[in-house]
Structure 1
Amino acid sequence: MGFRLPGTRRASFATKVASSKSCEVPKGYLAVYVGEKMKRFVIPISYLNQSSFQELLSQVEEEYGYDHPMGALTIPCREDVFLNVTSSFNRC
């Protein structure tokens, strides 16, 4: 399961980018680390405008503050919760 980007085949681009070992992030995207295993996902920056994503970030801030040891945004929720939240952004 992965999240879907508009105009792409189901999760194909997101899966390739998320599983990439490269540190490069395409313009218009940001890297986040999610879950206990700190899986790296590359998400569109437009997700930051979504109220449910903002709520997730608020919960992370309340619980963990701004200390992100990975050097990037760390979201310590379960991967399935993250995928559920982000997959809803592209539903019609």
Structure 2
Amino acid sequence: MMRARFPSIISNARHILKSHSHNAKNQKEVPKGYVAVYVGESEMKRYVVPLTYLSQPSFLDLLRYAKEEYGYNHPMGGLTIPCNEEAFINITSRFNN
């Protein structure tokens, strides 16, 4: 069952990333192969993360949570992940190991 949903999750993540890539020119430059995300619960901090994170199930969980929380209308004008910064760092630090 999870297998059938995985392509849908990737498709949704790509939709989020494409819809916000047009805003990158209005903000700080994001290198090719990366995406800017805003993380935080009250004070948002900007992170630039590699697109390879899309292959990580725990990052896809964060994107799914962001979609449930905000839909495709993110308050920061970019991809906003509604979790605390410490949790985000904890999750993403495992990807490089």
State the TM-score, normalizing by the size of structure 1: 0.70
- Give the structure 2 partner of residue 72 of structure 1: 78
Matched residue of 1:80: which SS? helix
C-alpha deviation, 1:68, in angstroms: 0.7
Number of positions where the alignment pairs a residue of Structure 1 with one of Structure 2: 70
C-alpha deviation, 1:26, in angstroms: 0.9
C-alpha deviation, 1:65, in angstroms: 1.9
Equivalent residue in structure 1 for 2:36, among 31, 34, 45: 31
Q: Distance in 1 between matches of 2:68 and 2:75?
A: 17
Q: Is the 8 A contact 2:65 2:81 kept in 1?
A: no
Instruction: State the one-letter code of the partner of 2:90.
Output: N
Instruction: State the one-letter code of the partner of 2:71.
Output: G
- Give percent identity, aligned residues only: 63
Matched residue of 2:46: which SS? strand
Q: Distance in 2 between matches of 1:63 and 1:34?
A: 13
- Give the structure 2 partner of residue 59 of structure 1: 65
Q: Is the 8 A contact 2:69 2:82 kept in 1?
A: no
Q: What do you get for the CA RMSD once the two structures are aligned?
A: 1.3
Instruction: State the one-letter code of the partner of 1:30.
Output: V
User: Which runs of no fewer than 5 residues in structure 1 stay unpaired?
Assistant: 1-21
Normalized per residue, the structure richer in helix is 2
Q: Distance in 1 between matches of 2:91 and 2:44?
A: 17
Instruction: State the one-letter code of the partner of 1:87.
Output: S
